[in-house]
Structure 1
Amino acid sequence: MSLGHACVDVYQGAVAALVPYFVAERAYSYAAASGIVLAASLLSSVVQPLFGALTDRWAMPWLLPLSALTAGSGVALSEVFGSYPLTLAAVAVSGMGVAAYHPEAARAARAVASGDNTGMGWFSLGGNVGFALAPLLVAAVIATGGLNASPLLAVPAVAGAALCAAAVRASRVRAPAGRPTESSGSDDWPSFLRLSGAVVCRSVVFVGLSVFVSPYVSERVGGGDVAGTAALCVLYAGGAVGTVLGGRLADRYGRVAVVRRAYALTVLAVAGVVLVPGPAVYLFVALTSAGLYVPFSLHVTLGQDCLPGRVGTASGVTLGLTVSVGGLAAPALGALADTTSLRTALVPLIVLPALGGLLLRGLREPAPVRQSAPRLPVR
């Protein structure tokens, strides 16, 4: 499931990684290029809670391979069209595939991990590895033939669909198909909404940096596209360490305490990215990555424990919307960059993790979800 997650989340990272190439090859403004990120995010934001609600009523494991193919086909076709509206439509289809994948995948992964923070960390690690590989994959494909070579980006989708199908077959040995396993406990909506507000703040910071850190670093330190791609890889690669580290720290110190400290670190790290000149920007990008990724899987398990009766809905919001909500703010940041500068556009990203930390004040550690043991099918 972790490997399948990596293949799907390549396409979330790929949309942001394509922005510099749209600017260079098609002369799009920053606002127009970030509008492509919005297209991938907008439909996903609308339909993801719907998929979460559906998975709360019925287990739909068949969604996993289908959504992987949908996510990949949209990105693979998005650069083929010279038309801006068709490009927007293609990435919107990709966003819908991503939206369909996350709620069911997170629900199933939590069941397989038996609620363990470290286990969910490994599942989330797969998605973060996909993000980290996206800039390298996009750069390699574009180098072969420009944006017209984008159909090659469909390869991870095929691999992801095969991996998801294998995971579905293996999971059927553990539990029968049908309604998800019932959970005990009552839903704590006030705490969940507070947590969701913090996730939104984290999302805007993450997507804003995903879209603009590459051209920003290229502008600050020189080195052209290579320097920018390196910065984006540092931002994404930190997830490989941060996500698993977050689960281990949470097992020792508690999830809420770890999440709060991660948000505090993010404030200082983003300030360093924006304000400290020279190559030191790479160090602050790495620290920002740690601050953003340490709470990544903890958001998911906290949300699921806040809403034990709606695990799919909680998963769809805390895991899937982590990226898509931030994409809604990308055009505003792009417009600000066009009218002022990239540096000015990144300044608001310093404030948002501080706001997220304030929302988390007073949040208590919820009781872990206790799921009834799955029944083996009668043969």
Structure 2
Amino acid sequence: MRVVITGASGSVGSALIRRLQASGEHDIVAVARRTPSHAPASGPKWASIDLSRPDSGRVLRLAVRDADAVVHLAWAFQPSHQVGYLEAVGVGGTQRVLDACAAMGVGQIVHMSSVGAYSPKRDATPVDEEWPVDGVPSSSYSRHKAAAERLLTSFEQTAEGTAVARLRPGIIGQLSAGSALLRYALPPVLPAKAIRAIPVLPMPAGLTIPMVHADDVAEAIVRVLWQRAAGAFNLAAASPVSAAMIAEALGVRWIETPVRVVRALMLAAWQARLQPVAPGWLDLGYAAPALDSSRARRELDWSPTIDSMSVLREVLLGMGHASAGSTAVLRRRTVVSEVSDLLSRGPVSHRRLP
């Protein structure tokens, strides 16, 4: 099977490539804006394509030509102050991928959506795939994920014979994403081990985060490809992570703090460019529903092998050790490299892109 993966250099992309290569039955084309400088000859064929560019359609069509399936993972999380760029990648990039697939007659598309596409929860009851996907208005990530889902719905109405699957995972974690996540969690001048020096955790009580391991997501994608499955599938470990669980994993005391207080502090720090995470992420964490993954278990014979708390602990371990992968997205974080980037390119939240 010839599989084209957009966003192949990220956390899920790296896990999916590992999983596909382990089976030895796939011809993989890996698409990313920044491709590895020393990719092994035995690995996937890499193609450098910037999906934010309107003129990327021609080279994208060449990349997906003769593909049996396209797995669309590409998304941007930074610079958080450049929402237009984030939309160009997430929403515009999705449209360009769909256009290329339609032009080249690709028979299967697997789109990486998110719990973030869902409308706010009403209570703690897990929701299935019928829950509305109108997003959380104050989160640009959520708005863009919901907009991408609408593009898929329009595509399905006209693309006969193409199987379209939408995966809606919780927050995805793995060890090698530690360095990438540290860039959002710590100031550039602090070493990775400072993540373990947090004295207290001020968080609202209502914060709940569905989680799932990158390897479990990769397994779900492979099962969708094998079965040529279509439709939406939630992917999450059984119990979402709470503020108390995060504090326990960090080994610190949780101080229950009103959400309005946390948001005000987060907004002020973000606007002052002191930290790169927009307050919409807090809104999303407070509004995101727990996920019922019964359909994936029933139709894909899929179930998570790693529970939420273990995923969280692995992520924190990776952050504490600045664990990294072989791609630019997952590159190792050091104080020297981060300060150098800060001085030459500015804060990651509104950084000039190379």
Fold agreement, TM-score > 0.5: no
Say which structure, 1 or 2, has more relative contact order (CA 8 Å, 6+ apart).
1
More strand by share: 2
TM-score where L is the length of structure 2: 0.29
More helix by share: 1
